[in-house]
Structure 1
Amino acid sequence: MDQLSRVIVGALVTEKSERLRAEHGQYTFRVATGATKIEVRRAVEKLFKVHVTDVRVMNYQGKKRRMGMFSGRRPDWRKAVVTVKAGERIEALER
Structure 2
Amino acid sequence: MSRDPRDIIKRPVITERTTEMMASKRYVFEVDIRANKTSIKQAIEEIFKVKVANVNTLRVPGKPKRQGRHAGYTSEWKKAFVQLSEDSKELEFFESV
Alignment partner, residue 46 of structure 1: 46
2:10 corresponds in structure 1 to: 9
How far apart, CA to CA, are the structure 1 residues paired with 2:48 and 2:13?
Answer: 16
Residue in structure 2 matched with residue 29 of structure 1 by the alignment: 29
- Identity within the alignment, %: 28
More helix by share: 1
Which amino acid in structure 2 is aligned with residue 48 of structure 1? F
Q: Which amino acid aligns with 2:25?
A: G
CA deviation profile, 1:18-73 (whole Å, cap 9, x unmatched): 01111x11010000100000010000000000000000000110101000000011
Cα RMSD for the two superposed structures:
1.2
User: Hey, what's the Cα distance between the residues in 2 that align with 1:94 and 1:83?
Assistant: 19
Counterpart of 1:67 in structure 2 is 67
Question: Which residues of structure 1 form unaligned runs of 5+?
Answer: none
Code of the residue aligned with 2:9 in structure 1: it is I
Per the alignment, in what secondary structure is the counterpart of residue 35 of structure 2? Answer: coil
Q: Aligned partners of 2:75, 2:27: CA distance in 1, in Å?
A: 23
Q: State the distance in 1 between where 2:86 and 2:41 align.
A: 16
Q: Kindly tell me the number of residue pairs found equivalent between the two proteins.
A: 93
- Measured in 2, the distance between the counterparts of 1:9 and 1:2 equals 13
- Structure 2 residue aligned with 1:18: 19
Deviation, 1:94, is 4.7
